[in-house]
């Protein structure tokens, strides 16, 4: 995937949400990994939080960031599995206007090369909510690396060709 170096880079303001019943900021390695990659790519971490695996708490945090003009994008880690406590995709479905099904499909396709059929347990997903991109990654550091390094670092780079999510940002709320 070519990066067109002669085009300007536009930093994206990204909020990071860890969904977990057991982590806090001192033990959130997946969140730390995501923050380091976001900043390393030249983007801005607009905010960071941790919430329990609870649909209403996740929805409330998402709404807060979606309505914040200082947040262009939200990336979550955790809660995308198939157990009873994994409810991040259900929370996303409550807030998005449009699903981006190709994100989860591509994530699982890329993940398959690394973890084989175990990737079927991931419900990684994405969408657009009132002009804000929202992406849900699994909670492991490996999955965060895969989602960022293999997909989001490119799609959130305004210089990525032939197209990227950044160039669409001004048009996300048009009717």
Q: Express each pLDDT in 106-159 by its tens digit.
A: 999 999 999 999 999 999 999 999 999 999 999 999 999 999 999 999 999 999
Note the maximum CA span of the chain: 48
Helix (H) or strand (E) holding 94: helix 88-95
Taking only the tens place, the pLDDT of each residue in 12-70 is: 999 999 999 999 999 999 999 999 999 999 999 999 999 999 999 999 999 999 999 99
Q: How confident is the model at residue 2 (pLDDT cuts 50, 70, 90)?
A: confident
CA atoms of 78 and 1, how far apart (whole Å) = 28
**Euclidean distance between the first and final Cα of the chain, in Å?**
31
Residue 114's closest CA among 87, 76, 140?
140
| Res. 1: pLDDT tops 80 | no
pLDDT for position 21: 92
Q: How confident is the model at residue 91 (pLDDT cuts 50, 70, 90)?
A: very high
């Amino acid at each position: 995937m070519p990066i067109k170096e002669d085009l300007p880079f536009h930093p994206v303001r990204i909020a990071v949400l860890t969904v977990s019943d057991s982590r806090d900021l001192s033990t959130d390695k997946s969140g730390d990994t995501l923050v380091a990659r976001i900043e390393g790519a030249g983007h801005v971490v607009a905010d960071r939080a941790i919430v329990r695996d609870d649909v209403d708490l996740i929805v409330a945090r998402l709404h807060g960031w979606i309505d914040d003009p200082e947040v262009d994008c939200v990336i979550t880690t955790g809660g995308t599995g198939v157990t009873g406590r994994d409810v991040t995709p259900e929370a996303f479905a409550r807030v998005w206007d449009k699903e981006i099904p190709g994100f989860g499909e591509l994530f699982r396709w890329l993940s398959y090369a690394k973890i084989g059929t175990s990737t079927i347990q991931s419900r990684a997903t994405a969408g657009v909510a009132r002009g804000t991109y929202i992406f849900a990654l699994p909670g492991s550091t490996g999955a965060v690396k895969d989602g960022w390094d293999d997909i989001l670092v490119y799609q959130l780079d305004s210089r990525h060709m032939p197209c990227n999510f950044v160039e669409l940002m001004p048009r996300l709320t048009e009717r």
